[in-house]
């Protein structure tokens, strides 16, 4: 972790850069993958699975037999834990349903807005270095609540050609039956363009590494919607002297272990706390099974000391982290000033990993500074909002003259006539 003492605001822009490759550096490779999938469909997916996942696949689809065999492989303890998460995520996302409100904007003119599920959605579940079945809950539950009709799941196969048993168990729990064995940019291409067996979808969801994120960004230029750029995980922790250095170190490492291109940032108003946290990180990282991955991420990571917590929160807002932990005495005060982040964890007993799995909030969140202009996944991400209006004769008589005058002023006479012709017959 590189450390910076009291950097001036002029230095912040450099410190808020992420370690991931820029879209431009990945574009040519991803485009080549797109071309292969467009030209040769499933055969290209099989070839790319052999190249990137070292898997020999007889078919790109998971069979019902594979699902049936996976279910008993998941322990009852894990199934019960998944139910806890399932209940909380469902509760939080159910509460996001928007009630239909009929508004009479003027007498006889009634308007309302209704949410309708996006019909065909693709869910990408990362599986390169860890099988993120929790991400399947985060995407599958709101997709179900929204009423999406067709759900296609894509996730990379292991070297033996199989999909992780807990991912299959979770898909089955969600009632998802179409499971594509494909990862990386090729999975995004299949979902966006379709193949002879994969249906093209309307919107693609899910986080992934930089290839997945670049591919998702590129398909938006071709008319396919995406949730957001959700790339390598990040956390920024703001801690004062009341924070427990062991807690902070554990939180930093929880995101560092995701991948070598993850970034964790520690910000404090105490030089002593910086030293304590660095020591705790060094102690804890040595105990981790994913020590090498976490250490690579730590090489990209920062520890920054500011004179005040006000500067700390200003810096965080400029960085726009995927996750922000406020490990301070009165988190409510700083929370009020948060303007740019995906999700906030308040106080000393709200570890970020609780949000990753089970508190109820969604863990698919914008990374790489996109929290400046995107929200994380929610029920809204899976619906379109369609507006309706109905006018009575009296309503049209009231509103009609205004519309006629405005249409006339825009020089759009057919618009005016659509009102005039009716008013003449009332």
Ligand X SMILES: N[C@H](CO)Cc1c[nH]c[nH+]1
How far is residue 385's CA from residue 383's CA, in Å, rounded to a whole number? 6
Our finding on whether 322 is near ligand X (CB under 6 A) is yes
Instruction: Quickly list DSSP for 228-266.
Output: ----S-EEEEEE-TTS-HHHHHHHHHHHHTT-TT-EEEE
Cβ 116 to ligand X shortest distance, Å: 28
Q: How far apart are CA 374 and CA 371, in angstroms?
A: 5
183 closest CA partner among 137, 123, 229: 123
- The residues in 236-255 that bind ligand X, with binding defined as CB under 6 A, are 255
* DSSP type of residue 15: H
* d(C-alpha 366, C-alpha 300), whole Å: 19
- Minimum CB separation of residue 342 from ligand X in Å reads 8
Comparing CB distances to ligand NAD, the nearer of 341 and 364 is: 364
State the nearest-atom distance from the C-beta of 132 to ligand X, in Å: 5
Check binding of 18 to ligand X (CB under 6 A). no
Catalytically annotated residue among 295, 323, 352, 363: 323
| Cβ at position 411, least distance to ligand X in Å | 52
Residue 223 region by backbone torsions, left for phi larger than 0, else alpha for psi between -120 and 50, else beta: left
53 interface partner picked from ligand X, Zn ion, ligand NAD, none, CB below 5 to 8 A per type: ligand NAD
Among residues 295, 311, 322, 352, the one annotated as catalytic is 322
List binders of ligand X among 61-90 (CB under 6 A). none
**Sheet (strand 120-124) strand order:** 178-181, 150-155, 120-124, 203-205, 225-226
Burial of residue 391 (CB within 10 Å: 0-12, 13-18, 19+) is middle
**Binding range to ligand X, per CB under 6 A, among 51-59, 131-139, 217-225, 301-309:** 131-139
Q: Which of 248, 356, 362, 367 binds Zn ion (CB under 5 A)?
A: 356
3-state class of 383 per DSSP?
strand
Decide whether 42 or 234 has the Cβ nearer to ligand X.
234
Known binder of ligand: residue 59?
Answer: no
Q: Find the shortest distance in angstroms from Cβ 214 to ligand NAD.
A: 9
CB 91 within 8 A of CB 121: no
Q: Pick from ligand NAD, Zn ion, ligand X, none: which does 134 bind, CB < 5 to 8 A by kind?
A: ligand X
Q: Which does 129 bind (CB under 5 to 8 A by kind): ligand NAD, Zn ion, ligand X, none?
A: ligand NAD
For ligand NAD, give the closer residue by CB, 115 or 155: 155
Instruction: List contacts with ligand NAD (CB under 6 A).
Output: 52-53, 126-130, 132, 135, 156, 183-184, 207-209, 211-212, 230-233, 258-259, 262, 322, 363-365, 367
- ∠ at Cα 187 (181, 190), nearest 5°? 105
276 binds ligand X (CB under 6 A): no
Alpha-carbon distances of 84 from 6, 251, 376, rounded to whole Å: 43, 22, 21
Question: In angstroms, what is the minimal distance from the CB of 298 to Zn ion?
Answer: 15
Q: Is 322 a catalytic residue?
A: yes
Q: Is 255 annotated as a binding residue?
A: yes
- 415 is known to lie in a ligand binding site: yes
Any contact of residue 134 with ligand X (CB under 6 A)?
yes
Give whole-number Cα distances, 334 to 161, 238, 309, 310, 352, in Å. 48, 10, 8, 8, 17
The one among 33, 209, 233, 273 contacting ligand X by CB under 6 A: 233
Q: Tell me the C-alpha distance between 31 and 219, whole Å.
A: 10
Phi, psi angles (nearest 5°) of residue 344: -115, 140
212 binds, among Zn ion, ligand X, ligand NAD, none (CB under 5 to 8 A by kind): ligand NAD
CA dist 402 and 405 (Å) reads 5
Q: Is 258 annotated to bind ligand?
A: yes
234 binds Zn ion (CB under 5 A): no
Q: Is 413 annotated as a binding residue?
A: no
CA distance 306 to 161: 50
Site of interaction with ligand X (CB under 6 A): 132, 134-135, 233, 255, 322, 356, 363
Binding-site residues, in ranges, read 124, 186, 209, 233, 255, 258, 323, 356, 410, 415
Q: Among all residues, which ones are annotated catalytic? A: 322-323
Binding-site residues for NAD(+), in ranges, read 124, 186, 209
Site of interaction with Zn ion (CB under 5 A): 356
């Amino acid at each position: 972790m590189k450390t910076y003492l009291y950097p001036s605001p002029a230095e912040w822009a450099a410190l808020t850069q992420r370690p991931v490759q820029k879209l431009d550096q990945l574009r040519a490779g991803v485009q080549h993958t797109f071309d292969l999938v467009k030209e040769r469909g499933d055969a290209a997916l099989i070839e790319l699975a052999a190249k990137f996942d070292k898997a020999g696949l007889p078919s790109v689809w998971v069979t019902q037999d594979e699902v049936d065999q996976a279910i008993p492989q998941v322990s009852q303890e894990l199934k019960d834990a998944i139910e806890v998460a399932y209940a909380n995520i469902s509760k939080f996302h159910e509460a996001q349903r928007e009630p239909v409100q009929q508004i009479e904007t003027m007498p006889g003119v009634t308007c309302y807005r209704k949410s309708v599920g996006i019909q065909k959605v693709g869910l990408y579940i990362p599986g390169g270095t860890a099988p993120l079945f929790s991400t399947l809950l985060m995407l599958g539950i709101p997709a179900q609540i929204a009423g999406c009709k067709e759900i296609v799941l894509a996730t990379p196969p292991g070297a033996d050609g199989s999909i992780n048993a807990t991912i299959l168990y979770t898909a089955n729990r969600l009632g998802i039956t179409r499971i594509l064995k494909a990862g990386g940019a090729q999975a995004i291409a299949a979902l966006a363009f379709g193949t002879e067996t994969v249906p093209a979808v309307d919107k693609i969801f899910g986080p992934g590494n930089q290839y997945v994120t670049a591919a998702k960004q590129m398909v938006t230029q071709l008319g396919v919607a995406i949730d957001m750029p959700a790339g390598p995980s990040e956390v920024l922790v703001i801690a004062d002297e009341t924070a427990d250095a062991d807690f902070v170190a554990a939180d930093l490492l929880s995101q560092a272990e995701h991948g070598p291109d993850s970034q964790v940032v520690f910000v404090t108003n105490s030089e002593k706390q910086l030293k304590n946290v660095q020591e705790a990180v060094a102690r804890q990282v040595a105990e981790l099974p994913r020590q090498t991955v976490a250490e690579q991420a730590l090489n990209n990571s920062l520890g920054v000391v500011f004179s005040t917590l006000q500067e700390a929160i200003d810096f965080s807002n400029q960085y726009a982290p995927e996750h922000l932990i406020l490990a301070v005495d009165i988190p409510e005060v700083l929370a009020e000033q948060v303007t740019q982040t995906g999700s906030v964890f308040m106080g000393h007993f709200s570890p970020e990993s609780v949000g990753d799995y089970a508190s109820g909030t969604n863990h698919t969140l914008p990374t790489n500074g996109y929290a400046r202009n995107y929200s994380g996944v929610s029920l809204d991400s899976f619906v379109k909002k369609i507006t309706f209006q109905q006018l009575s004769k009296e309503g049209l008589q009231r509103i009609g003259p205004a519309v006629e005058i405005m249409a006339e002023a825009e020089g759009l006479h057919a618009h005016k006539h659509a009102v005039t012709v009716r008013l003449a017959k009332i």
